[in-house]
Structure 1
Amino acid sequence: MIQRIQTFFLLIVAFLAGVLPFFLNLWVTVDGAEVYAQNEVWVSIAFYVAAILAVVSILLYKNRQNQFVVNRLNMILNLFLLGFFVYRSLSLSGEAVVSEKGIGMLIPVFSIVFLVLANRAIKKDEDLVKSVDRLR
């Protein structure tokens, strides 16, 4: 259902994970070359999977419990992406590979925030349906 707020949040997550990492640089190397998601195969696959999970979650609007679980899986995937970016930018000593962090490294953070907001809205819908069933 398009009119629900969690659909809007999930569309934002699909846009963040499916489009932005390929236009915003993730980091800049010592040579001055900007690294985008398409330059790193596993990173681009993880971003595509996160976008696909968001779209699948939108399509699961009739089954709120499954939608909630798919959003949780998407949050875990974004946490792994965030952990990879933190590892990549902080564990390498000095100016070895990552010279400057890009704005694209924050995409998993924003995705997690919007997924949490979507899960809160799904939980509110589920509670509303349960309260209506109680009155019958």
Structure 2
Amino acid sequence: MLQRIQSIYLFCCMLTAGVLPLFISLWTTTSKKEVFVADNVLYTALFGSTVLLALVSIFSYKKRQNQFVINRLNMILNFIIIGLLVYHSLNLSGEAKVSMKGIGMFLPIFSIVFLALANKAIKRDEDLVKSVDRIR
């Protein structure tokens, strides 16, 4: 059942959280040095755990409720990442170290969108199975 639409959404979430942060910078310092996810151990671990949760969710397709819960946990993790990125960008005094925010700060938002779409498809599958069970 890996051909379901939620698996495609989860794969897009994996790409958004696992591959794109390697090529898209989070911010640029005043010395014109681009900062990537791989430069910070905390962000690397958080983005890596997002990828891991999405991978676990893809392969737990037989248990739709567990898949739904794993996706919810992944959304919470992405909100934590957003909070840390916002805290880091606002905590610096007077833009002393960060001169320009990058598009990489919005990657967790894209991951949340893909996870929400996957949860919507999982819910639709669950409703379909329940309706078929009522007929029997």
TM-score by length of 2: 0.97
Distance in structure 2 (CA, Å) of the matches to 1:100 and 1:86: 13
Aligned-residue Cα RMSD (Å) equals 0.8
Offset of residue 92 of structure 1: 2.2
Aligned partners of 2:17 and 2:47 also within 8 Å: yes
Query: Cα offset for 1:91?
Result: 3.1
Superposition pairs for residues 76-115 of structure 1, below 5 Å? Answer: 76-115=76-115
Segments of 4+ moved more than 4 angstroms: none
Equivalent residue for 1:41? 41
Give me the whole-angstrom Cα distance separating, in 2, the residues matched to 1:103 and 1:40.
17
Where structure 1 has 5 or more consecutive residues not aligned to the other structure, the ranges are none
C-alpha contact (below 8 Å) 1:88/1:98 kept by paired residues = no
Helix, strand or coil at the partner of 1:62: coil
Tell me by how many angstroms 1:99 deviates.
1.1
State the partner residue of 1:21: 21
CA distance in 2, matches of 1:125, 1:95: 48
TM-score, normalised via structure 1 length? 0.97
Instruction: Please tell me the residue identity of whatever aligns with 2:3.
Output: Q
Identity of aligned residues (%): 60
